[in-house]
Structure 1
Amino acid sequence: MRNLISLADLTPEQLARIVARAVEFGTGEVADRPLTGRQVGIYFRKSSTRTRTSFWSGATRLGADVITFGPDELQLTTGETVEDTSRVLGQYLDALVVRTNGDVAEMRRLGSSRDLAVVNALSLDEHPTQAIADLATLAERFGELAGRHILVVGEGNSSGAALALAGALTPGLRVTLLSPEGYEVPQDSMDLVDKLSGGQHLVTRVTDPASVEGPVDAVYTSRWQTMGVPKADPNWLSSFEGFGIDREFFERYSGPDTVFLHDLPAVRGQEVSDEVLDGEHSLAWRQAFHKMTAAMAVLEWCVVGEH
């Protein structure tokens, strides 16, 4: 069994294969059910619509039996150690999909059993399967990712951090992270980008919209307050003025083939306007579909290996 806790655990070749497999699953022409006879657990400590449902749907489409756990349904809440929980669940399950407000280090402890594949379905510092869905959406639209430029706008949250790592692992993919000052992708993530790519990446952090060179191939945003974690500054919203994606903002950086991406859920009228989210350039709904194909590709890779 193999974990997928961070994109940093993958080689560029492995990430490319997983993304290609997600695109392949998206065609609807794959009849393989490689998880037949396997058991997948889904353990979410936080609310979720797309990620939870996409993993359930993806696992069952691949033939697995699925059990779901709510935030208070494992004995972790009564004092059992993470390692003991992992050791026991490894005797019952082949994979455990986890969403938590904890960090990657906590999830690695849960992935300590060699009999249990653990998948990070969102932690405080990274959302790796979301980035795989994002890359699958772009690969489906554009083909090769090399030479493409993604502008990621808004808070430097777990989705932004994952896209930064994806940029480090995808040669030729340019990722510009545009955030208000004080809300950037953490420096630890950028240090990891440098390490993964040997300093050869095309990932940059900026705080001034005027410094972004367009046109870009995709304008990407997320909701500004993620995972229900309140911000320290009660007036934080004022820092995001000028970072909402309306038609004027989108057209400032777009060419004829530029697409809009959003990992959803969206706060309409805040980080994105209805006109952009529902517009002809939006791939947000196809992107949501690829959360399921990404889940399928990741579960297959973790449980049965290379396709």
Structure 2
Amino acid sequence: MAPAIRHLISLDDLSDEDLRAVVGRAAGLAARPRAAQASLRGDVVGIYFRRTSTRTRTAFSSGALRLGAQIIAYGPGDLQTNTGESIEDTGRVLATMLDVLVARTADDPAQLRAMAAQERMAVINAMSADEHPTQALADLTTVLRRFGRVDGLRLLYLGEGNNSAAALALALSRFPGAELHLRTPPGYGLAPDVLARARAHAARCGALVEESHDPGELPAKVDAVYTTRWQTTGTTKQDPDWRTVFAPFQVTGELWRSSPDALFMHDLPAHRGEEVTAEVLDGPRSIAFEQAENKLYSAMAALEWCRGGELA
């Protein structure tokens, strides 16, 4: 009997054990990339992106091929949803022809849940408006490779409480002793429900998630400093003066005074001179481009998990 498929729409679709297993598998693949088995041989993976993507789309396309699958790529105008076909009908049809669908809609994740309302095709959220779960998998893979652990990590995040920040909070909060200190501009914090879910995970697992809108109140001796671009893909800001609000949250070299050994993380793409200075992004403490590479290995691990694989 074929293993049951699994969907990855949110980090909350992963149990604590599954999350550790996927991140551990990704780190293992990164350590021996040529040793990956063709665990998806015979599978067909659909790559459906309605929004721009460099890293996530390439990671899942390359990862599926490296695992032995074939891929079919869809652009934003390719499916009949553009002519009025329902998401549910589209999902039912695709499920008869695909084994996995990797989709970036940047819209309501309910659309992905509708596509997942069948038992034949796994659905992976490659970024929706509220959460970017596969980015968090890459982030934790990067941390595990660099520090040898995720438990007990202290991370400072500066910037908007966007979908990458949401995923990071929902993931890191499930590792004992981990601390996530968010500094977000007023009016641009984590969504209340996301913050509540992350804090519930933290309370259960012995972690800490705290958010403040004061960029002058920073924790000392963090292991990593993380930011994301101020203009999240597929979104706009209604406040015409938003740059003034965001300016105090720029990541500069001054942040390293209290944490000289901290590493710098960024989900990319980056805008030097906006959310981060070139000195930091291109400096010796930056591991942003390692994060980008680790998207490949975390994508491969996610594909294996969604196809019901047992991750060693």
Shorter chain as denominator, the TM-score bin is: over 0.9
Q: Secondary structure at the match of 1:205?
A: strand
Answering whether residue 311 of structure 2 is matched by residue 303 of structure 1, we say no
Q: 1:4 aligns with which of 8, 16, 23?
A: 8
CA contact (8 A) 1:224 1:271 kept: yes
CA contact (8 A) 1:214 1:253 kept: yes
Pairing 1:1-307 to 2, within 5 Å after superposition: 1-27=5-31, 28-198=33-203, 200-249=206-255, 251-256=256-261, 258-307=262-311
* Residues 24, 30 of structure 1: 8 Å contact kept: no
Give, as a single letter, the amino acid of the residue that structure 1 aligns with 2:142.
T
CA-CA distance at 1:198 after TM superposition = 4.7
Verify the 8 A CA contact 1:5 1:119 in the aligned structure 2: yes
Q: Helix, strand or coil for the counterpart of 2:310? A: coil
- What CA distance in whole angstroms lies between the structure 2 residues aligned with 1:159 and 1:107? 18
Contact 1:37 1:65 survives alignment (8 Å): yes
Mapped to 2, the partners of 1:36 and 1:141 lie a distance apart of: 31
CA distance in 2, matches of 1:195, 1:8: 12
Give, in whole Å, the separation in 1 of the partners of 2:50 and 2:202. 33
Task: Give the TM-score taking structure 1 as reference length.
Answer: 0.96
Q: Distance in 1 between matches of 2:302 and 2:27?
A: 12
> Percent identical across equivalent pairs?
49
2:291 partner letter: Q
Q: What is the one-letter code of the residue matched to 1:118?
A: V
- For this pair of structures, how many residues does the alignment match? 305
Q: After the TM superposition, which of the residue ranges 293-302 and 166-175 deviates more from structure 2?
A: 166-175
Partner Cα distance (1:198, 1:176) in 2: 15
Q: 3-state SS of the aligned residue for 2:42?
A: coil
1:272 Cα offset (Å): 0.8
RMSD: 1.2
Distance 1:60 1:94 in 2: 14
Q: Is the 8 A contact 1:193 1:201 kept in 2?
A: no
Q: What's the secondary structure of 1:304's corresponding residue? A: coil
CA contact (8 A) 1:263 1:287 kept: yes
In structure 1, the gaps of 5 or more residues are none
Amino acid at match of 1:187: P
Q: Displacement, 1:31?
A: 3.0
The answer to whether the Cα contact below 8 Å between 1:217 and 1:255 also exists between their aligned partners in 2 is no
CA distance in 2, matches of 1:178, 1:57: 35
**1:223 offset after TM fit, Å?**
0.2
Cα distance in 2 for partners of 1:95, 1:247 equals 43
State the shift of 1:211 in Å. 2.2
Displacement of 1:216: 0.5
Decide whether the 8 Å contact of 2:103 with 2:123 is kept in 1.
Answer: yes
- Structure 1 residue 191: Cα displacement: 1.5
Would the aligned equivalents of 1:34 and 1:304 in 2 still touch at CA under 8 Å? Answer: no
Contact 1:56–1:66 (8 Å) recurs in 2: yes
CA distance in 2, matches of 1:197, 1:262: 23
Aligned-pair CA distance for 1:259 = 0.5
Using the size of structure 2 for normalisation, the TM-score is 0.95
Shift of 1:245: 1.1
Letter of the structure 2 residue corresponding to residue 254 of structure 1: S
Q: What code does the residue aligned with 2:59 have?
A: S
Equivalent AA in structure 1 for residue 196 of structure 2: D
